[in-house]
Amino acid sequence: MSTTQSPRSDTRARILDVALELFAAQGYEKTSLREIADRLGVTKAALYYHFKTKDEIVRGIVRSMAAPIDEAIAFGEGKPWSPELRDELVRRFAAGMAERAPLLRFFHENQPALRESEAGLEFKDRMVAMIRLVHGPDATFHDRLRATMALFSINSALFLLKHDDSDTCGPHSGGPRVGTLEEAMAAALEVALEISGRITPTAAQA
């Protein structure tokens, strides 16, 4: 079966790429559909054929770039929980997020505009589903907190990378430098596995 994209799907992919670039650079609210169309070199009417609003574009970005999260959820659902499953879910989540760093930066930098949007709520639902799979059934508050912090530690690592060509690290200068995305994600995965697998004080005393 051929994997060649149709012209329509290829155009949609280009729109999502360009929109994400503009949203990340200047913010969701400050980017207009006209700017997206101009950057693509198409008319606004041609853009409307694929997406009628900016929120539709964001939903398309989320759905296309959050595919690895959906795949990890599908992998974990229905399986009996175990520490091995927990660790594999964390690894799959980390691998998927490493490939989608621009999406996470975009959400981080546009939280006020997206928090209650349909796209933002869809992404939140995905994260909640992942957290539940990581902590498993009959979870204590400590278990839920560890699962949440484990996954968010992976997301947070992306913001310690250099955002430009200057000799600074993340949004603040003077901090420890991270050389590459691979190094950052390897460190984040190690921390996430440590957090998610840590024994609760109650269990340790039992």
What separation in angstroms does the CA of 199 have from each of 106, 132, 136, 139?
34, 18, 14, 13
Residues contacting residue 22 through CB under 8 Å, at least 6 positions apart? 31, 35, 36, 39
Handedness of CA 157, 144, 135, 100 (dihedral sign): negative
SS3 57: helix
What would the mean pLDDT of 22-40 be, rounded to a whole number? 90
Q: Is the pLDDT of residue 107 over 80?
A: no
| Residue boundaries of the structural domains of the chain | 7-60, 66-205
Residue written as tokens 């440590």?
194
Given this model, what pLDDT does residue 89 score? Answer: 96
What fold characterizes domain 7-60? Answer: Arc Repressor Mutant, subunit A (1.10.10)
Per-residue pLDDT tens for 43-99? 999 999 999 998 899 888 888 778 889 999 999 999 999 999 999 999 999 988 887
